[in-house]
Amino acid sequence: MQEIERKFLVKDSKEILYLPSEYIIQAYFLYASDGTARVRIVNNKTAVLTIKKDISDIRRWEFEYNIPLEDARIMVEKLSNGKIIEKRRADFLYAGKKWEIDIYSGKNEGLIMAEIELKSEDESFEKPPWLGKEVTADKRYLNACLAEKPFLEW
């Protein structure tokens, strides 16, 4: 399956910080310049294995599979070499589109990003007033890169 996604910094977080959210631990165990393999644990209850391969800056192949929570915990501990990010994710509906807001903690504390998945690369959408600079093409903001070189180390 392909995903088309655009990412933006959040410039005004007062509407965002108190939204209901899920706690996510995301660990990367394979990373190449054009793709990743990761495991994600959500609220310490469910786990997903994800494999991504870039097609363009905003389009990539993405395959996700539910896996046993204990397997995911082992992958985080034994396979990630410490390449882990922690964040809260909240959903926000704006002008008929769902935005996913990631509020990072740990080594990426202070970073807040919003992403929107689109049906096509040229699909138009209305931007919320709290949206800042687009960072879709800036590889530093990819979660895999944030696991490798955290925001607080820039």
Residue 44 backbone class (left: φ over 0; alpha: ψ -120 to 50; beta: rest): left
Which tokens belong to 121?
A: 């690369």
Annotation says 94 is catalytic? no
Say how far apart CA 25 and CA 87 lie, in whole Å: 7
151 neighbors 135 (Cβ within 8 angstroms): no
Catalytic residue among 18, 23, 28, 94: 28
Can you list the pairs that 135-139 forms with residues at least 24 positions away whose Cβ atoms lie under 8 Å? 135/7, 135/8, 135/9, 136/5, 136/6, 136/7, 136/8, 136/57, 136/58, 137/57, 137/58
Catalytic machinery residues: 28
